[in-house]
Chains A and B, each alone.
Chain A
Amino acid sequence: MLSREEYLELSLEERFVPLGAEESKRADRLFDQLVTIDMHTHIFGSVHFHFEYEPVRQSGMTCCFEAVPALSEDFQESMELLGRYRSLVESEPGLVTAVRAEDIREAKRDGKQTVMYQLEPQTMGRDLNRIDVSYGLGVRMMLLTFNTRNYIGDGCGERTDCGLSYLGIEMVERLNDIGIMIDLSHCGVQTSLDAIKFSKDPVLFNHTGARALNPPVTRLKTDEQIRALADKGGLIGISAIPNQLSSQPEQGIEDMLNHIDYVANLVGMEHVVIGLDNTFHDQVAFHRKLAASKSVDLQKSGITLAAGYMYGIESPLEWRNIVRGLVSRGYTEDEIEKVVSGNALRVMEEVIG
């Protein structure tokens, strides 16, 4: 298997899913025509701030729903980081902040790209009035927990699996009322099920995969969770983080497509979206650093760092490879449109407007 450096030296064509000439053209046309939404991005880096506009521009994605990371769960810190991201977006004429579905459609018509904001995880502490503040500053989605416990619930990497606290139930109600999407990607099982139960709005697992395909990784969602979420209209975003969808030393776009197939089979295509969680840098080196710092103990969520990168979906330039992959798996244009934009736009309209 190629090293990451060797892989990045390949041309795009060499990295792409192989398709016949007709299908290749169809896939390209589709990608260019469609609104494309990534429901969990890190274009500004993850824990370490970093931004390169050019790769994002070349990716052609219509909407990056950017995660504002907050491992310390400090409110002020998260708002300052959000402000920093927003000022960069303001300063780039090709980028626009979006707060509703129509903003994304409009940007596509105008040839621009949009950025939306989610808190990863929420930093409300014990003060739910901060929800209003966050909304006012542009936040339209919040992850209830990261991998550990907070005032709301337990993360997937915690030693216990408790459900939502009373404050957690209150928070879900407030988020429903104000119109902010709720994401449960990093939550433990009971917290996820509780949030699905107590939320009046559909909720999301915006960057995950199917636990059935890689059982040791608690970041992936069980069939029970996926079904419960879909039953209430929610969305499952398939990610492309190395070493989550698969524990094999070689992994890539095919694994991502396997997870899409599995979830579509389980609950239907109307509930599948894309949430890559890609930092567009050396993820695995970053994960190694995180593991060493103890702030995010990956072993506690069952992750071993076997592969160095995901072939076929390593950088934003390979986003269109997802559409190629879906074509190769025999999905119709309708189905592809749902996955890359329709489902996300529908739920956005329902929850945030």
Chain B
Amino acid sequence: MIPRDEYLKIPLKDRFISLDEDQEARAEQLHRDSLIIDIHTCMLEDRLVQQDFFENVPRIQRSGINGFIEEVIPFDEEFGPSMETLGRFRFKVEKHPDFMPAFRAQDFIHAKGSGKQAVMFGLEPQSFGRDLDRVAIAYGLGIRVALLTLNTRNYIGDGCGERTNAGLSYLGLDLVEQMNELGMLIDLSHCGSQTTLDAIEASSDPVMCNHIGARALYPQLKRLKTDEELVALANKGGLAGVSAIPNQLSRNAEQGIEDMLNHIDYIVNLIGIDHVAIGTDILFGDQVEVHRQTDKTLLKLDYYGQELNAPYMYGIESPEEWPNITRGLVSRGYSDDEIRKILGGNALRIIQEVVG
């Protein structure tokens, strides 16, 4: 694989999957006309990665997506600082004329209609501690999605990188109930297996795993969801968002868009076209370097089986290459209807059902 800095010199269209003329036209039209929602992004944060929002706006716009669920990452799972980060995110969105905040399904439709991009806000993970009154506070301040755990244990459950596989705690059951009541989407992407299964069962609303892949295709990586988890998720109307994170879909030294498409194919095959979406979770900066750094602190890689074999994902290295996902779905033979569902139709449906 050519080094990342050389890859970035290649013009965008030359990084893309090659299609014949008809497919090309179809892909372009689908990408332009469909409602596209990336259900797990990290594009506004300018601390963790080397990116500045205002500099990146043209690149976010080049992605062609109509909306995205941007994650606030609470350091040490502390509530106060996480709400401050949310405030910073909302400030950026409010101040920029081409963006608008999204608090309900209709906002995404409205954004597309007016040529803006809609931003819904999530917590990764929830920072409620032991005080479930904070769920309403977070909701009031604009949060509509929350991950129950990151890779380790918290008051709610065990993460996928924890030494044990505990299910939800009693407080966890209470939290699920509270989120159902308020209409906040529950996400289980980083949870361990038992916590995932417990939450799917306990929730009266459909839930999400918004940036994952299929464990069957990469068995050592505990960040990916097993067939059992995916089937349970879909049986209760839930949504699996396939990510494009380097080294989380494949352990090969060379990986890219084809691996992402393999995971999409697998999961569609397993649980059906109505339960798959896209949650890329990719950055404008050197994501693998970020993983290298956070290995020392937040997310110890070998706890959940991750290696850093590839330096980036060719064909989906940053959100700018988002149109390549649509091209990829065309190349894999999906129909227009199916593509529209994956790109945003399914996401809109679950947001409408749970959040309103």
Contact = CB atoms under 8 A, between A and B. Distances in A.
B163 A160 contact: no
A288 interface: no
Given A149-B166, A149-B169, A165 B153 contact: yes
A300 B8 CA distance: 58
B148 to A, nearest CB: 13
Given A72-B130, A73-B129, A151 B153 contact: yes
Contacts of A71: 130
Interface residues of B, number: 26
Contact of B152 (A148, A163, A166): A166
Interface in A285-300: 297, 300
A71 B130 CA distance: 9
Given A162-B158, A165-B162, A165-B163, A127 B153 contact: no
Contacts of A149: 153, 155-156, 166, 169, 171-172
A297 B170 CA distance: 10
A9 B303 CA distance: 61
Contacts of A297: 170
Looking at A152, A154, A297, which has the most chain B CB atoms within 10 Å of its CB?
Answer: A154
Looking at A71, A148, A162, A169, which has the most chain B CB atoms within 10 Å of its CB?
Answer: A162
A168 B78 CA distance: 18
B154 A151 contact: yes
Contacts of A152: 153
Contacts of B164: 162-163, 165
Interface in B31-52: none
Contact of A159 (B162, B163, B167): B167
Contacts of B303: 166
B263 to A, nearest CB: 28
B166 A151 contact: no
Given A126-B77, A151-B152, A151-B154, A73 B163 contact: no
B76 interface: yes
A167 interface: yes
B131 interface: yes
Contact of B166 (A125, A154, A167, A300): A154
Contacts of B166: 149, 154, 160, 162
Contacts of B162: 165-166
B169 A158 contact: yes
A163 B163 contact: yes
A158 B76 CA distance: 23
Nearest to A73: B130
Contact of B170 (A159, A167, A169): A159
Nearest to A74: B129
Contacts of A72: 129-131
Interface on chain A toward B: helix, strand, loop, or mixed SS?
Answer: loop
Contacts of A127: 76
A341 interface: no
A158 B153 CA distance: 14
A243 interface: no
Given A158-B170, A163-B164, A150 B76 contact: no
Given A158-B170, A160-B167, A150 B155 contact: yes
Nearest to B165: A162
B152 A165 contact: yes
A301 to B, nearest CB: 12
A159 B176 CA distance: 15
A160 B77 CA distance: 22
Contacts of A158: 169-170
Interface string A164-190: 111111000000000000000000000
Contacts of B300: 166
A297 B169 CA distance: 13
Looking at A71, A159, A300, which has the most chain B CB atoms within 10 Å of its CB?
Answer: A159
B162 to A, nearest CB: 6
A159 B171 CA distance: 10
Nearest to B151: A166
Looking at A71, A73, A150, A297, which has the most chain B CB atoms within 10 Å of its CB?
Answer: A150
Contacts of B163: 163-166, 169
A159 B131 CA distance: 19
Interface in A53-81: 71-74
Given A125-B77, A125-B78, A148 B169 contact: yes
Interface string A71-104: 1111000000000000000000000000000000
Interface string B111-131: 000000000000000000111
Contacts of A164: 163
Interface in B154-193: 154-156, 158, 162-173
Contacts of B77: 125-126
A127 B75 CA distance: 10
A158 B130 CA distance: 14
Contacts of A154: 166, 169
A177 to B, nearest CB: 20
A251 to B, nearest CB: 28
Contacts of A126: 76-77
Nearest to B76: A126
Nearest to B195: A160
Nearest to A162: B166
Contacts of B78: 125
Looking at B76, B78, B131, B163, which has the most chain A CB atoms within 10 Å of its CB?
Answer: B163
A163 B129 CA distance: 20
The 9 closest A-B pairs by CB, nearest first: A162-B166, A149-B169, A165-B153, A162-B164, A126-B76, A160-B166, A159-B170, A160-B167, A166-B163
Given A162-B166, A165-B153, A165-B164, 12 more contacts: A73-B130, A125-B76, A149-B153, A149-B156, A149-B166, A151-B152, A152-B153, A160-B169, A162-B165, A166-B162, A167-B153, A168-B153
14 contacts: A72-B130, A74-B129, A125-B76, A149-B155, A149-B172, A151-B154, A158-B170, A159-B169, A159-B170, A159-B173, A162-B158, A163-B163, A165-B162, A167-B153
